[in-house]
Amino acid sequence: MLGQRATIDQVMKLMDNGPFYLETKFDGDRIQLHRQGNSYRYFSRSSKDYTTSFGASPYEGSFTPMIHDAFNSKVKGCILDGEMVGWDAETEIFLPKGDHVDVKTIGRDEDSGIGIQQCFVVFDVLMVNDTNFANRPLSERAEQLKKVFEPVKGYIHLVHRRGATTKEEVVTALNEAIDQREEGLLVKNPASTYCPDKRKGSGWVKIKPEYVDSLSDQLDVLIIGGYFGEGRRAGMVSHFLCGVAVPPGMPGDKPSIFQSFCKVGSGYTLTELRDLGLKLKPHWQKFDGKRVPDCLALPAGSREKPDVWIPPSKSCIVQIRAAEIVTSERYRTGCTLRFPRVEKVRADKEYFDCMTTDELEQLKNMASGRLAHSHYDDEADGGVAPGKKKRRALGVRVERPKGVAANFRPTDTSDIQEVSSMFGGREFCVVNGTRDFSKEEMEKKIVEVQ
């Protein structure tokens, strides 16, 4: 079952203005555990079998022997849904993927870290013995889940779930998640049944900082093209053309077309660039502008043509940080990122898990293009901050056109022709102009040589 993306302002409506559950959204690998007696199997969201990573019985593997005795003796079989995350036994905290933890290799990989172990955080139950619970309301499943096993610290946990009824409680919980560097929140309707592969209208809503105005700046995009570098980067692909997926026509199908979205050439070290280059090098193909591959969607007459391209299924996702989303005709999406830089390579995600055009459009609408990171301030965003009363208006309010001051508007550089790469890989922030050159003119000059 999947969670629908939403903003805080949409939560109450999606929860039918009734009570709901708040859960921590963990940054791990989504896993379903299927147990029948002494037989265990572990599946990813895409049904990939990862049993060998955790253990097929109580007598093998790095994980299964640690949880087998936790199950209630009356439970002979069950299907549990949850998140497999890394657990630091020394500090007793969960480790996000951003800490380069591959939970599937813990216990088998010497580089996985000393004291790091696999921990399964369970948030749902689909079946117990021969009883199907998937069609029962979440409130009933939550109570049943408490009877399936006893938590074992650092190995198998029950998700922390709390009841809530107001938007203010969601705001507080999200800000707590930001402070604790958690991935976000899940808001769930207690009456929702378990609907596999359903997102919209499922009764589950996920809220990440990047879905909310001015809270985050991370986007997962797919590398679809490359540009050869110069100087120290000569001979290797140093800049990447990245794209987003066009949602397939049939539910359950993988996307086959990817629209160009941005070009990125900074954020990684030379060593990281070489490692990424070695991974992609066998799959690069020379790009022919007269015969653009069917899987790539570029705007007609686009000057943003890569030197090489790569079949999406052979590529990888990179997590991008940026200042904001701006309009651009250079890319098929009609927009691009301002000051993009690579945050990390998402080796934990398949190529088809990248951002989609629909998700990009939602992000643009929800955040007005801004991709900053801070606490959510309900009052600043037009609502009422927790614990505060709305002030009564004094006098007549005069409505004035809303807009962005000219000096803060992004410069449209889509028509700028690059004449050199003197400043390649560097980032500039132009605060203001001079008497001879305006801010806009200076930014265009920089793009010419970047």
- Name the residues annotated as catalytic: 25
Cα–Cα distance for residue pair 386/175, rounded to 1 Å: 12
Taking residue 46's Cβ as centre, other Cβ atoms within 10 Å add up to 10
Contact 340, 305 (CB under 8 A): no
> Is residue 355 a contact partner of residue 245, using CB atoms and an 8 Å limit?
yes
Strands 308-309 and 116-128: unpaired
Sequence-ordered list of residues with C-beta below 8 angstroms from that of 106, at least 6 positions apart, any chain: 62, 86, 112, 113, 116, 117, 118
C-alpha 247/C-alpha 200 separation (Å) is: 14
Widest CA span of the chain, in angstroms?
81
From the number of C-beta atoms within 10 Å of its C-beta (0-12, 13-18, 19+), residue 16 rates as: exposed
State the first-to-last Cα distance of the chain, in angstroms, to the nearest integer: 44
* Cα four-point dihedral sign 150, 153, 156, 162: positive
